[in-house]
Amino acid sequence: MGSAGSVGASAAVKAASDAELLKMVQELPEESRSKLMAAVADAEKGADGKAASSPSADAPCIPSVQGKEGGKTLLVIMSSPMGGNSATNAVGKAFCKAYSEKFPDDSIKVVDTLSLASFTASRVQAKFKCFGGDANAADDNEEWMYTKKLVEEFKSADKYAILAPLWNFWIPNHLKLYIDHIVQPAMTFTPDGKGMVIGKPMLFVRASGGVPIGSDMDIGTKYLQAVFGFIGFTDMRVVGIAGTANQEGLPALLEEKSKEAAEIAAKFDFDSEAKPAATNEFTTEDPAPAELKEGAKVLFITSSPMGDHSATRSASKAFITAFEEKCKATVTTLDLSEDKVAPYTAAGVQAKFATWMGGKEAAAKIKEWELTTELMDQFKAHDVYIFAVPMWNLSVPNQLKRWFDHVCQPHHTFDAATQKGLLEGKRAFVIASSGNNLLGTPYDHVTPFMKQLLGFVGVADVTYSYVKGREGVEEAVTKLKGAIKL
């Protein structure tokens, strides 16, 4: 396999949606398959012989460019840990090259979202202070100044390109973390909800193995358009790279999409006639009350760093108490806000690919797979799931997406060949809250996310209860109690 083929295959590994990877591998010639597996094995170790966090031999795959005084700035936001082996990065690089040729005086600044600080309770409290309209209200908070610096860097740019592979129908968790940092009151939106970043163009480069970009299954592009539309963007363009699982056609696909991106780059100025993307549409239907067996094993998954000050945590605890009384349930709590779940890195992607190719235990020797295995085993061992989900910037917290990226795995929680979920017969309850009552509206990207991801692993019977502020806890718990019976 030549270098172009190696890059293409690795890009396909990273960008492919889960159903296509097995098909892609099975269709490779034997020689190519062997070389690819060898490349995956080599990529698992760095120069020191330890596991690599990223295949960064050719990093940085997209260099920053210092323009001339008076030139504009293009901010490129990368979110794939696969470096130059990423389809989105490959097409993004072609976009940047064409942009520099057309706008030689402009700068290109590259932001890698893989090493951002967590969005902690301290940052949440600082954010609340700024809702009064004063962008400097929390400047005494050292953690907040880090976030504020990211916001200022973002706002200072004139044009934007976000490179976002499709991960489990959505976006990488570290890109969501970046969004949680930059979407801030009095800085990127006004306290009454008007966007402040206006008159600037945005390009999304999206890649998937086969899921059509922009289709109903691609809930990530819808989310990106919604959240950036919320902070003021109207000119948002998309280059969709669907079909990276087709190994034979991949080089031609990347060439075609690179040309498409280059054509956009040559005319990448704000289009005042561009219209915002359509709002979200979805439906939910509550299942019949759950007949729960006595002694049911319950996994409570909470993702707010606010502890008992969280409305979702308060409602969940009251529901869990009723749950324990009704069926003597055993409840295990997984608090994702404590950062126990490590980011899903290139080594994790490589391990997932090895599992897909070699079966359930194929990635056992890869160190990064230990945590993933632990989380999957915990997930599968329980009968009932209770999710406490605060709405953060129209969707779920990045910590929850990170957890889903670990537990949605071939041969473990879904069938690699049929894409059928393996956790059928389980029951879930999603307790979500929003400070602005957007849950259940077209701006709600929490419910479609949970519906898509839980359905993917086979959990179809899900009750959704929305907590409308602290005063809405009792109403939400009443609905939840009515959803269970012995």
- pLDDT tens readout for residues 140-171: 999 999 999 999 999 999 999 999 999 999 99
pLDDT band, very low/low/confident/very high, at 105 (cuts 50, 70, 90): very high
pLDDT surpassing 80 at residue 47: no
Give the β-pairing of 290-291 and 484-485: parallel
Predicted pLDDT at 29 = 47
Give SS3 for 476: helix
pLDDT surpassing 80 at residue 44: no
Q: How far is CA 175 from CA 185, 274, 327, 398, 419, in A?
A: 19, 25, 40, 8, 25
Alpha helical stretches, state H, 113-218: 121-130, 142-156, 173-182
Predicted pLDDT at 26 = 46
Across 209-214, average pLDDT: 92
Query: What is the overall mean pLDDT for the chain?
Result: 87
DSSP of 317-339, one letter per residue?
HHHHHHHHHHH--EEEEEEGGG-
Predicted pLDDT at 345 = 87
Alpha helical stretches, state H, 231-344: 250-265, 311-327
Across 351-368, average pLDDT: 87
- Let me know the angle formed at the C-alpha of 402 by 465 and 342, rounded to the nearest 5 degrees: 135
Across 386-394, average pLDDT: 96
Do 1-276 and 290-485 have matching folds?
yes
Predicted pLDDT at 340 = 74
Predicted pLDDT at 57 = 36
| Listed residue (379, 413, 424, 339) closest to 168, CA to CA | 413
Predicted pLDDT at 337 = 87
pLDDT band, very low/low/confident/very high, at 282 (cuts 50, 70, 90): confident
Predicted pLDDT at 60 = 56
Regarding the domain delimited by 290-485, which CATH topology (the fold level of the hierarchy) does it fall under? Rossmann fold (3.40.50)
Across 182-203, average pLDDT: 96
Structure tokens at 210: 């086969």
Predicted pLDDT at 59 = 45
81-93 pLDDT, tens digit each = 998 889 999 999 9
Query: CB of 409 within 8 A of CB of 416?
Result: no
Single pTM value for the model: 0.88
Task: List strands edge to edge, sheet with 235-242.
Answer: 107-112, 73-78, 159-165, 201-208, 235-242
Predicted pLDDT at 470 = 72
CATH code at 1-276:
3.40.50.360
289-341 pLDDT, tens digit each = 888 888 999 999 999 999 888 999 999 999 999 888 888 899 999 999 877 78
| Strand stretches in 66-224, DSSP E | 73-78, 107-112, 159-165, 201-208
pLDDT surpassing 90 at residue 16: no
395 strand-pairing partners: 392
For the chain, domain boundaries: 1-276, 290-485
CA distance 391 to 31: 48
CA distance 94 to 292: 55
Q: Which long-range contacts (CB under 8 A, 24 or more apart) does 371-377 make?
A: 371/341, 371/342, 371/406, 372/348, 372/406, 372/407, 372/409, 375/341, 375/403, 375/406, 375/407, 376/406, 376/407, 376/409, 376/412, 376/413
- Let me know the angle formed at the C-alpha of 218 by 233 and 301, rounded to the nearest 5 degrees: 95
